[in-house]
Amino acid sequence: MSLGEQTPQAPMAEPPQWIVLLLAAGLGATAGAVLSFAQWLVLRKRVEHAGWWIPANMVAWLAGMPIIFWGIDAAQKSQPPLQAVLLLAGVLFLTGAVVGAIHGAFLVKLAGTARRTPL
């Protein structure tokens, strides 16, 4: 064993795209739970069944994160920079629409159970 000896390293192979997207979905579900916790703390004082907000965020970001990861991967393929920027803008728009639609569906349900109390 020699600490100073250089060993040739083969380039790391990336996992298949489906594994990356599956892991991105898991990341989204986890991040959705973590990020929605503080929102739930406020919502629970104003809305009945506010506990549904955490799974709503988990579902929304479970759907949204794979879109973002797919878009970044697609934008990194050799293409002109302007095309990559436009692709990323479209991906961010699509992600916002998907996540917003899921959030909106849950918020409409939760708004029906809002307590009428002053802030």
Question: pLDDT digit string (tens) for 4-48?
Answer: 667 667 788 889 999 999 999 999 999 999 999 999 999 999 888
Entry pTM: 0.81
Residue 110: how many CA atoms within 13 Å on its side-chain side? 21
Reported as a pLDDT band with limits 50, 70 and 90, residue 111 is confident
Going by C-alpha positions, the residue among 56, 72, 59 that lies closest to residue 28 is 59
Type of residue found at 93 = F
- pLDDT tops 90 at residue 112: no
Average pLDDT, the chain: 90
